[in-house]
Amino acid sequence: MALLEICCYSVECAVTAQQQGADRIELCAAPKEGGLTPSYGMLKSARQAVSIPVHPIIRPRGGDFCYTAGEFSAMLEDIALVRDLGFPGLVIGLLDEDGNVDMPRMRQVMDAAKGLAVTFHRAFDMCKNPVQAFDNLAELGVARILTSGQQSSAEKGLQLIRELKAHSGVLKIMAGAGVRASNLNLFLNAGVEELHSSAGKWMPSPMRYRNTGLSMSTDAEADEYSRYGVDGESVAVMKSMIERHHV
Protein backbone atom coordinates (compact mmCIF):
# COMPACT_ATOMS: atom_id res chain seq x y z
CA MET A 1 0.00 0.00 0.00
CA ALA A 2 1.25 3.48 -0.85
CA LEU A 3 2.72 5.35 2.11
CA LEU A 4 1.45 8.86 2.97
CA GLU A 5 3.98 11.38 4.30
CA ILE A 6 2.67 14.73 5.51
CA CYS A 7 4.85 17.82 5.69
CA CYS A 8 4.22 19.55 9.04
CA TYR A 9 5.34 22.97 10.25
CA SER A 10 4.41 22.56 13.90
CA VAL A 11 4.11 19.83 16.53
CA GLU A 12 0.32 20.43 16.67
CA CYS A 13 0.09 19.79 12.93
CA ALA A 14 2.17 16.62 13.28
CA VAL A 15 -0.22 15.34 15.97
CA THR A 16 -3.22 16.15 13.73
CA ALA A 17 -1.62 14.39 10.75
CA GLN A 18 -0.93 11.32 12.88
CA GLN A 19 -4.51 11.24 14.21
CA GLN A 20 -5.89 11.43 10.67
CA GLY A 21 -3.86 8.52 9.33
CA ALA A 22 -0.51 9.85 8.10
CA ASP A 23 2.19 7.16 7.94
CA ARG A 24 5.15 9.51 8.39
CA ILE A 25 5.86 13.19 9.08
CA GLU A 26 8.41 15.46 7.48
CA LEU A 27 9.01 18.10 10.18
CA CYS A 28 9.99 21.59 9.07
CA ALA A 29 9.95 25.23 10.09
CA ALA A 30 9.32 28.21 7.76
CA PRO A 31 6.62 27.26 5.22
CA LYS A 32 7.27 30.37 3.11
CA GLU A 33 10.88 29.24 2.61
CA GLY A 34 9.74 25.76 1.59
CA GLY A 35 10.90 24.22 4.88
CA LEU A 36 13.92 24.83 7.13
CA THR A 37 15.46 22.89 10.05
CA PRO A 38 13.14 22.93 13.08
CA SER A 39 14.46 24.31 16.37
CA TYR A 40 15.74 22.09 19.18
CA GLY A 41 12.56 22.75 21.17
CA MET A 42 10.33 21.76 18.27
CA LEU A 43 12.37 18.60 17.63
CA LYS A 44 12.26 17.56 21.26
CA SER A 45 8.51 18.25 21.56
CA ALA A 46 7.80 16.26 18.38
CA ARG A 47 9.73 13.25 19.72
CA GLN A 48 7.49 13.26 22.79
CA ALA A 49 4.17 13.99 21.07
CA VAL A 50 4.28 11.82 17.93
CA SER A 51 4.69 8.05 17.69
CA ILE A 52 4.75 7.54 13.89
CA PRO A 53 8.14 8.10 12.17
CA VAL A 54 9.18 11.76 12.05
CA HIS A 55 11.93 12.84 9.62
CA PRO A 56 13.15 16.41 10.27
CA ILE A 57 14.50 18.45 7.38
CA ILE A 58 18.13 19.59 7.58
CA ARG A 59 18.16 22.86 5.63
CA PRO A 60 19.76 25.97 7.11
CA ARG A 61 18.21 28.56 4.76
CA GLY A 62 15.89 28.99 1.78
CA GLY A 63 17.13 29.33 -1.77
CA ASP A 64 19.51 26.97 -3.56
CA PHE A 65 21.17 23.82 -2.23
CA CYS A 66 24.80 24.82 -2.70
CA TYR A 67 26.06 25.60 0.80
CA THR A 68 29.00 27.49 2.29
CA ALA A 69 31.48 25.74 4.60
CA GLY A 70 29.82 27.40 7.60
CA GLU A 71 26.34 26.29 6.54
CA PHE A 72 27.53 22.74 5.92
CA SER A 73 29.20 22.55 9.31
CA ALA A 74 25.91 23.66 10.96
CA MET A 75 24.05 21.00 8.96
CA LEU A 76 26.38 18.29 10.31
CA GLU A 77 25.71 19.56 13.86
CA ASP A 78 21.95 19.39 13.19
CA ILE A 79 22.29 15.83 11.87
CA ALA A 80 24.12 14.84 15.09
CA LEU A 81 21.32 16.40 17.15
CA VAL A 82 18.56 14.65 15.19
CA ARG A 83 20.41 11.36 15.57
CA ASP A 84 20.97 11.88 19.31
CA LEU A 85 17.28 12.66 19.83
CA GLY A 86 16.42 9.28 18.32
CA PHE A 87 14.66 10.23 15.09
CA PRO A 88 14.51 7.35 12.58
CA GLY A 89 15.38 9.46 9.55
CA LEU A 90 16.03 12.90 8.11
CA VAL A 91 15.53 14.89 4.91
CA ILE A 92 18.42 16.68 3.19
CA GLY A 93 19.92 17.57 -0.18
CA LEU A 94 23.17 19.15 -1.39
CA LEU A 95 24.22 20.14 -4.90
CA ASP A 96 27.50 21.52 -6.27
CA GLU A 97 27.86 24.67 -8.38
CA ASP A 98 27.25 22.67 -11.58
CA GLY A 99 23.94 21.19 -10.46
CA ASN A 100 25.24 17.72 -9.62
CA VAL A 101 24.76 15.88 -6.32
CA ASP A 102 27.59 17.11 -4.07
CA MET A 103 29.12 13.67 -3.59
CA PRO A 104 31.99 14.49 -1.17
CA ARG A 105 29.61 16.32 1.19
CA MET A 106 26.82 13.77 0.78
CA ARG A 107 29.30 11.06 1.80
CA GLN A 108 29.95 13.03 5.00
CA VAL A 109 26.18 13.37 5.49
CA MET A 110 25.64 9.62 5.09
CA ASP A 111 28.45 8.98 7.55
CA ALA A 112 27.00 11.44 10.10
CA ALA A 113 23.51 9.97 9.61
CA LYS A 114 24.51 6.31 9.99
CA GLY A 115 21.54 4.21 11.06
CA LEU A 116 19.01 6.83 9.87
CA ALA A 117 16.88 6.64 6.71
CA VAL A 118 18.01 9.56 4.53
CA THR A 119 15.53 11.18 2.13
CA PHE A 120 17.15 13.34 -0.58
CA HIS A 121 14.61 16.14 -1.01
CA ARG A 122 13.61 18.30 -3.97
CA ALA A 123 17.16 19.55 -4.42
CA PHE A 124 16.88 16.62 -6.85
CA ASP A 125 14.48 18.71 -8.93
CA MET A 126 17.15 21.42 -9.28
CA CYS A 127 19.85 19.04 -10.50
CA LYS A 128 21.16 19.04 -14.07
CA ASN A 129 20.89 15.36 -14.96
CA PRO A 130 18.20 13.44 -13.03
CA VAL A 131 19.29 9.97 -14.12
CA GLN A 132 22.92 10.58 -13.17
CA ALA A 133 21.79 12.13 -9.87
CA PHE A 134 19.59 9.08 -9.27
CA ASP A 135 22.55 6.74 -9.81
CA ASN A 136 24.74 8.87 -7.51
CA LEU A 137 22.11 8.73 -4.76
CA ALA A 138 21.64 4.97 -5.18
CA GLU A 139 25.42 4.57 -4.77
CA LEU A 140 25.35 6.67 -1.57
CA GLY A 141 22.63 4.47 -0.09
CA VAL A 142 19.92 7.09 0.44
CA ALA A 143 16.52 5.57 1.24
CA ARG A 144 14.36 7.67 -1.08
CA ILE A 145 14.16 10.68 -3.35
CA LEU A 146 11.38 13.25 -2.93
CA THR A 147 10.68 14.66 -6.37
CA SER A 148 8.17 16.53 -8.50
CA GLY A 149 9.78 15.04 -11.60
CA GLN A 150 11.74 18.29 -12.07
CA GLN A 151 8.52 20.21 -12.82
CA SER A 152 6.62 22.83 -10.82
CA SER A 153 4.26 20.08 -9.61
CA ALA A 154 4.45 16.30 -9.35
CA GLU A 155 1.42 16.04 -11.62
CA LYS A 156 3.33 17.84 -14.40
CA GLY A 157 6.42 15.75 -13.67
CA LEU A 158 4.64 12.38 -13.60
CA GLN A 159 6.41 11.12 -16.74
CA LEU A 160 9.88 11.49 -15.17
CA ILE A 161 8.57 10.07 -11.86
CA ARG A 162 7.41 6.98 -13.79
CA GLU A 163 10.80 6.68 -15.52
CA LEU A 164 12.71 6.99 -12.24
CA LYS A 165 10.43 4.43 -10.62
CA ALA A 166 11.14 1.97 -13.46
CA HIS A 167 14.86 2.65 -12.95
CA SER A 168 14.72 2.33 -9.20
CA GLY A 169 15.49 -0.98 -7.45
CA VAL A 170 15.89 -0.40 -3.71
CA LEU A 171 15.82 3.40 -3.90
CA LYS A 172 12.25 4.59 -3.34
CA ILE A 173 10.66 7.42 -5.32
CA MET A 174 8.30 9.67 -3.35
CA ALA A 175 6.14 12.07 -5.36
CA GLY A 176 5.67 15.52 -3.84
CA ALA A 177 4.61 19.09 -4.81
CA GLY A 178 0.92 19.71 -5.34
CA VAL A 179 -0.10 16.16 -4.34
CA ARG A 180 -3.64 16.28 -2.95
CA ALA A 181 -6.91 14.34 -2.91
CA SER A 182 -8.00 15.76 -6.29
CA ASN A 183 -5.04 14.22 -8.17
CA LEU A 184 -4.05 11.38 -5.83
CA ASN A 185 -5.41 8.64 -8.10
CA LEU A 186 -3.02 9.68 -10.89
CA PHE A 187 -0.08 8.73 -8.65
CA LEU A 188 -1.74 5.60 -7.26
CA ASN A 189 -2.53 4.39 -10.80
CA ALA A 190 1.08 5.05 -11.80
CA GLY A 191 2.19 2.74 -8.97
CA VAL A 192 3.99 5.48 -7.01
CA GLU A 193 4.80 3.86 -3.67
CA GLU A 194 5.24 6.94 -1.46
CA LEU A 195 3.29 10.20 -1.56
CA HIS A 196 4.25 13.49 0.08
CA SER A 197 1.70 16.23 0.73
CA SER A 198 1.52 19.28 2.96
CA ALA A 199 -2.29 18.80 3.09
CA GLY A 200 -2.19 22.38 4.29
CA LYS A 201 -4.11 25.61 4.26
CA TRP A 202 -3.58 29.15 5.47
CA MET A 203 -5.61 29.87 8.60
CA PRO A 204 -6.36 33.20 10.25
CA SER A 205 -4.43 34.12 13.39
CA PRO A 206 -6.47 34.01 16.62
CA MET A 207 -5.26 37.52 17.51
CA ARG A 208 -8.03 40.04 18.06
CA TYR A 209 -5.66 43.01 18.38
CA ARG A 210 -3.98 43.62 15.03
CA ASN A 211 -1.49 46.27 14.01
CA THR A 212 -1.95 45.90 10.28
CA GLY A 213 0.22 48.84 9.22
CA LEU A 214 3.54 46.97 9.20
CA SER A 215 5.13 43.64 8.33
CA MET A 216 7.79 41.61 10.15
CA SER A 217 8.81 40.03 6.86
CA THR A 218 11.18 41.30 4.17
CA ASP A 219 8.11 40.86 1.96
CA ALA A 220 6.12 44.01 2.74
CA GLU A 221 2.98 42.35 1.34
CA ALA A 222 3.19 39.38 3.75
CA ASP A 223 0.14 38.76 5.92
CA GLU A 224 1.38 38.52 9.52
CA TYR A 225 -2.02 37.32 10.64
CA SER A 226 -2.28 34.05 8.78
CA ARG A 227 -0.65 30.72 9.63
CA TYR A 228 -0.02 27.60 7.62
CA GLY A 229 -1.30 24.38 9.08
CA VAL A 230 -2.33 20.83 8.25
CA ASP A 231 -5.94 20.31 7.23
CA GLY A 232 -6.77 17.10 9.10
CA GLU A 233 -9.76 16.33 6.92
CA SER A 234 -7.59 16.44 3.81
CA VAL A 235 -5.17 13.92 5.38
CA ALA A 236 -8.06 11.59 6.27
CA VAL A 237 -9.51 11.77 2.74
CA MET A 238 -6.14 10.96 1.13
CA LYS A 239 -5.53 8.08 3.53
CA SER A 240 -8.94 6.54 2.80
CA MET A 241 -8.34 6.90 -0.97
CA ILE A 242 -5.04 5.03 -0.60
CA GLU A 243 -6.73 2.28 1.40
CA ARG A 244 -9.57 1.94 -1.11
CA HIS A 245 -7.09 1.79 -4.00
CA HIS A 246 -5.15 -0.95 -2.24
CA VAL A 247 -8.29 -3.09 -1.81
pLDDT for 218: 81
Q: How far apart are CA 82 and CA 185, in angstroms?
A: 34
Q: How confident is the model at residue 223 (pLDDT cuts 50, 70, 90)?
A: confident
Distance, C-alpha 164 to centroid of its chain: 18
Please report the beta strands in the chain, taking only residues with DSSP state E, as ranges in sequence order.
Answer: 3-8, 24-27, 54-56, 89-92, 117-120, 144-147, 172-176, 194-197, 200-204, 226-230
DSSP three-state, residue 199: coil
- In this prediction, residue 216 carries a pLDDT of 86
Angle, vertex CA 19, rays to CA 184 and CA 230, nearest 5: 60
Report the distance separating Cα 215 and Cα 151, nearest Å. 32
pLDDT given for residue 105 in this prediction: 98
5 or 223, which is more confident:
5
Q: What is the mean pLDDT of residues 35-53?
A: 98
How confident is residue 160, by pLDDT bands cut at 50, 70 and 90?
very high
